Chain A
Amino acid sequence: MADSRDAPLVLGIETSCDETGVGIVRGTTLLADAVASSVDEHARFGGVVPEVASRAHLEAMVPTIERALKEAGVAATDLDGIAVTAGPGLAGALLVGVSAAKAYAYALGKPLYGVNHLASHICVDQLEHGALPEPTMALLVSGGHSSLLLSTDITSDVRPMGATIDDAAGEAFDKIARVLNLGFPGGPVIDRYAKEGDPEAIAFPRGLTGPRDPAYDFSFSGLKTAVARWIEAKRAAGEEVPVRDVAASFQEAVVDVLTRKAVRACRDQGVDHLMIGGGVAANSRLRALAQERCEAAGIRLRVPRPKLCTDNGAMVAALGAEMVARGRAASDWDLSADSSLPVTDPHVPGVSHGHDHDHVHEVAKDNLYS
């Protein structure tokens, strides 16, 4: 399934949160995935501090680009394009990546593609399982987002089916980990404790699952409060908190709702593929329950390996390569970082480049060979 040599060679830059990611792909083949994380610097704050993240991106960018090129064994001059996360994400953090990508593309004389972070999370699966079937239903869950998206064309048509109305799923993991004094980030540690606990020990609420609730939206705020209240009651009574059972029961409540709604969306829309991405996709119970329910419903499940699920540059490169392959318009040099870029914009085409594919091709050629 290796891509031929003429598949687009693209470098992608990702700085929407606390990971400085630079990835290189050729078509759907992963060549490099270099990530520098500032997560340790945020740990004592119990959450990502935007200014700390932005400062770290500036420091890490050039070494991470160099590392990715070395890992891929390609020359920068051979690249067919530079992709960058234009949004959504932390404004100041995004701006560091956008500034680097622009300067990099300009200095190399290559086209620049500002792309959507969420669409990138979907597209990354191509690096693991080959070309994505279209349409694909995508469940994206992380500390920053929890969405159900229907992708009919990953470069031009991604439709929001549902999203969290309050906290992101990953945020709930972080908050419960904090209540249990387990540190930050909460996802991996809750997953670990939950493995030794009973998921049915405590009946925590499943948000927005009533008959009149929106079918595809999520809510984790009520669950978070219920878990915290339960723990506080135990402590107030002087009883020991059964950390493993709390972790398992809380986690079960989250992944039950996520998988139930994702499978329902697939059925309702007649889509037989579900991909799960974002940092929370690394959760072992989410993977297991999704597999079980998808099998029962006759849906093919695609979940990339954990390193590709968390924020990285390869996912941005994967979507950039798709933009090049499908002749999408490059971005202009005045591309903005847009902290609230809507998911319905998989990329940010430049005005001066227009939407005409032939014309775009001309621009790309001129950039490549001039």
Chain B
Amino acid sequence: MLLLALDTATPAVTVALHDGESVVASSSQVDARRHGELLLPAVDRVLAEAGRKLDAVTGIVVGVGPGPYTGLRVGLMTADTFGLVLGVPVYGLCTLDALAYASCIEGPFVAATDARRKEVYWARYADRRTRVTESAVDRPADIADQVAGLPAVGAGARLYPDTFPNAHEPEHVSAAALASLAVEKLEAGEEPAAPRPLYLRRPDAQVPKNYKVVTPK
């Protein structure tokens, strides 16, 4: 097995290669505005570091968000296209799940990432492998009751200390964690999900009420 993992759903552009035993190479760069520029060179670097070619990859796992859409699509489009050329399966995993999986917290906690517009993408976990709520997008103040007293991981928690006073590592998702979680799920015989983006918001679109009148009243 050689699993290529990608995630661009958050400011972290992260790539890892997992051979079924362990992560053999990985790269993470945090830059919210350059997902498109950074991802392919990172894939190339990770493969070179592992001494492998892309055509040796037997499966692809991609973080499906939730996350800001423009960056999120870079990873999904790249994974889909690799899958097409290589003829290998492409699995989707929730980005928050990978973030949670890398935490060392015992007991329940929250994973939260920055959704911009003063909101967070978030979900609650019973432990690092078990999500207990659907991922959602909310204003931190509006979910204060639901996350009260729980430790939290992710950059979303650090941004809003009033709601998340107990912030823990990791701050950013890593493809290494994404890959390890995917391998664990595959070995457990779990049915992998399709790589469908979790946007959680409708597109912004103003329906013009009518045309704008130009004759001065």
Question: Which A residues are within 8 Å of any B CB, using their own CB?
Answer: 44-47, 49, 51-52, 54-55, 58, 61-62, 65-66, 76, 91-92, 95-96, 98-100, 102-104, 106-108, 175, 178-179, 225, 228-229, 232-233, 236, 333-337
Counting chain B CB atoms within 10 Å of each CB, the highest count among A92, A95, A178, A228 belongs to: A95
Interface string of B69-105 (1 = CB under 8 A from A): 1100110111111111110000000000000000000
- B20-28, B31-39, B124-132, B173-181: which lies at the interface: B31-39
Instruction: State whether the Cβ of B215 lies closer than 8 Å to any Cβ in chain A.
Output: yes
CB proximity of B208 to chain A, nearest CB, Å? 5
Would A95 and B36 count as touching, CB distance under 8 A? yes
Instruction: State whether the Cβ of B206 lies closer than 8 Å to any Cβ in chain A.
Output: yes
Q: Which residue of B lies closest to A47 (CB)?
A: B208
Would A336 and B37 count as touching, CB distance under 8 A? yes
Would B69 and A99 count as touching, CB distance under 8 A? no
Instruction: State whether the Cβ of B48 lies closer than 8 Å to any Cβ in chain A.
Output: no
From the candidates B86, B207, B215, name the one contacting A229 in the complex (CB within 8 A).
B215
Instruction: State whether the Cβ of B186 lies closer than 8 Å to any Cβ in chain A.
Output: no
Question: Which B residues are within 8 Å of any A CB, using their own CB?
Answer: 36-41, 43-44, 54-55, 69-70, 73-74, 76-86, 197, 199, 203-208, 211, 213-215
Q: A49-B205, A58-B197, A62-B81 are in contact. Are A334 and B37 (CB under 8 A)?
A: yes
CB proximity of A105 to chain B, nearest CB, Å? 9
Residues of A within 8 A of B215 (CB): 228-229, 232-233, 236
Residues of B within 8 A of A335 (CB): 37
Would B207 and A104 count as touching, CB distance under 8 A? no
- Give the distance in Å from the alpha carbon of A82 to the alpha carbon of B80 in the complex: 17
Would B207 and A333 count as touching, CB distance under 8 A? no
Q: How would you classify the secondary structure of chain B's contact residues: helix, strand, loop or mixed?
A: helix
- Give the distance in Å from the alpha carbon of A96 to the alpha carbon of B81 in the complex: 11
Q: A106-B43, A107-B86 are in contact. Are A45 and B207 (CB under 8 A)?
A: yes
Q: Which residue of B lies closest to A236 (CB)?
A: B215
- Give the distance in Å from the alpha carbon of A108 to the alpha carbon of B206 in the complex: 41
- Give the distance in Å from the alpha carbon of A108 to the alpha carbon of B39 in the complex: 17
List 11 contacting pairs A-B, 8 Å CB cutoff, sorted by A: A49-B205, A55-B69, A55-B203, A66-B84, A91-B70, A98-B36, A99-B73, A102-B40, A228-B211, A229-B214, A335-B37
Q: A45-B207, A66-B84, A178-B208 are in contact. Are A58 and B36 (CB under 8 A)?
A: no
Residues of A within 8 A of B206 (CB): 45
- Give the distance in Å from the alpha carbon of A45 to the alpha carbon of B208 in the complex: 6
Residues of B within 8 A of A103 (CB): 40, 77-82, 85
Q: A61-B80, A95-B73, A336-B37 are in contact. Are A76 and B85 (CB under 8 A)?
A: yes
Q: A95-B70, A333-B40 are in contact. Are A49 and B203 (CB under 8 A)?
A: yes
Residues of B within 8 A of A336 (CB): 36-37
Residues of A within 8 A of B74 (CB): 95, 99
Residues of A within 8 A of B41 (CB): 333-334
Residues of B within 8 A of A44 (CB): 207
CB proximity of B96 to chain A, nearest CB, Å? 20
- Give the distance in Å from the alpha carbon of A229 to the alpha carbon of B36 in the complex: 45
Instruction: Give me 19 other A-B pairs in contact (C-beta within 8 A), A99-B77, A178-B208 excluded.
Output: A45-B208, A51-B69, A52-B205, A61-B80, A62-B81, A62-B84, A65-B81, A92-B70, A95-B36, A96-B73, A103-B78, A103-B81, A104-B84, A104-B85, A107-B54, A107-B55, A228-B211, A229-B214, A334-B37
Q: Which residue of B lies closest to A63 (CB)?
A: B84
Q: Which residue of B lies closest to A42 (CB)?
A: B205
- Give the distance in Å from the alpha carbon of A106 to the alpha carbon of B36 in the complex: 14
Residues of A within 8 A of B70 (CB): 54, 91-92, 95
Would B84 and A65 count as touching, CB distance under 8 A? yes
CB proximity of B40 to chain A, nearest CB, Å? 4
Residues of B within 8 A of A225 (CB): 214
Q: Which residue of A lies closest to B79 (CB)?
A: A103
- Give the distance in Å from the alpha carbon of A49 to the alpha carbon of B84 in the complex: 28
CB proximity of A246 to chain B, nearest CB, Å? 14
- Give the distance in Å from the alpha carbon of A54 to the alpha carbon of B204 in the complex: 12
Q: A107-B85, A334-B37 are in contact. Are A58 and B54 (CB under 8 A)?
A: no
From the candidates B44, B83, B199, B211, name the one contacting A178 in the complex (CB within 8 A).
B211
- Give the distance in Å from the alpha carbon of A92 to the alpha carbon of B76 in the complex: 14
The 5 closest A-B pairs by CB, nearest first: A51-B203, A103-B81, A107-B85, A99-B77, A333-B40
